[in-house]
Structure formats: C-alpha cells, structure tokens
Amino acid sequence: MEYDKQTKNRLKRVEGQVRGILRMMEEKQDCEKVINQLSAVCSAVNHTIGVIVTENLKMCLQTQNETNSDTDELVKEAIKLLVKSR
C-alpha cells in the first residue's frame, strides 16, 4: 500500500508530540498536562488508523471491482483491523 504524504505528516506530528511529552516529564510538569498531551497523541494515532484502514478498503474495493472478488470479505477484514486497533 502506498501511504500519502499527509498520513506520514500526521505521524511526524505525533512523534513531535511524544518528544514534547517526554520533555514535560523530564521537567516534572503537572501530571494533568502530561495526561492531556498523551490523550491527544492517542486521538491522533486512532484517527490515523482510521484513515489508513479507509484508504486500504477503498483500494481493495477498486481492485475487487476489477477481479470480481467478495466485497463482504473485504469489509469484514477492514472491520477486523479497526477492532484490533482499539
């Protein structure tokens, strides 16, 4: 699967957030602020998972239309990936 620049940039922002959280912890910042940032990282990662699964499903459906594969099986696989990520 080809990952677009926007999706890669999302993860680069997450990476920066994680480094910022580590810095906050080293500076002994308030735990509420650290938890707030960790929650933002979780949300960003979960959103990225959704984007990747959606793009993968669209790609698979396009291929399915060309090969007459089973659509139900593709949708089940996408749902399985989403459930696994939770």
**What would the pLDDT profile of 49-75 be if each residue is shown by its tens digit?**
988 988 888 887 777 777 766 777 777
Q: Say if residues 50 and 28 touch (Cβ distance below 8 Å).
A: no
**pLDDT, tens only, 3-47:** 999 999 999 999 999 999 999 999 999 999 999 999 999 999 999
Q: Is the pTM of this model over 0.85?
A: no
Domain spanning 5-85, CATH class? mainly alpha
- Give the residue extent of every domain in the chain: 5-85
Find all residues with CB under 8 Å of 37, minimum gap 6, and list them.
17, 20, 21, 24
